[in-house]
Amino acid sequence: MSTPLTWSNLIAFATTGNPKPNRVVEKTESEWRAQLTAEQFYVTRQHGTERAFSSELCSRFEAGIYACVCCNTVLFDSAEKFDSGTGWPSFTQPVETNAIAYNLDVSHGMQRIEAVCNTCQAHLGHVFPDGPAPSRLRYCMNAVALKKQERAV
């Protein structure tokens, strides 16, 4: 990614339109159910949330990349991962500006920015403006929505 995203960028994407994805993956509900575990389906297709601290991905920081569990689109690099103490894997930036799409989420009496895979629209988690410098972004992701892979050489 050339220029790091900022909170202002994400608000603009969520209100005026997201960047165009490199490709689009569409499947029926039954196709997603056949491919995913019950928990993966609940989180990614039904906008659920896994329990905090339920995944070892929160405390693992080995080099690699994180892809969408639904469509295998690369979303994050481990170089952008940090320990937020929240109980969910957290990142400061996606690998590409158009890897993630952003939606305003006003559920549960809050105003948040939902992060979804821009390729298949899988719910990943939310983004908050309380991360580390320089971006100050915290991509708070559900671990079951991600698939850790080795970095290609």
Active-site annotation, residues = 140
Contacts of 140 (CB under 8 A, 6+ apart): 84, 86, 88, 90, 125, 126, 127, 128
Distance of alpha carbon 134 from alpha carbon 82, whole angstroms? 13
- The residue length of the chain stands at 153
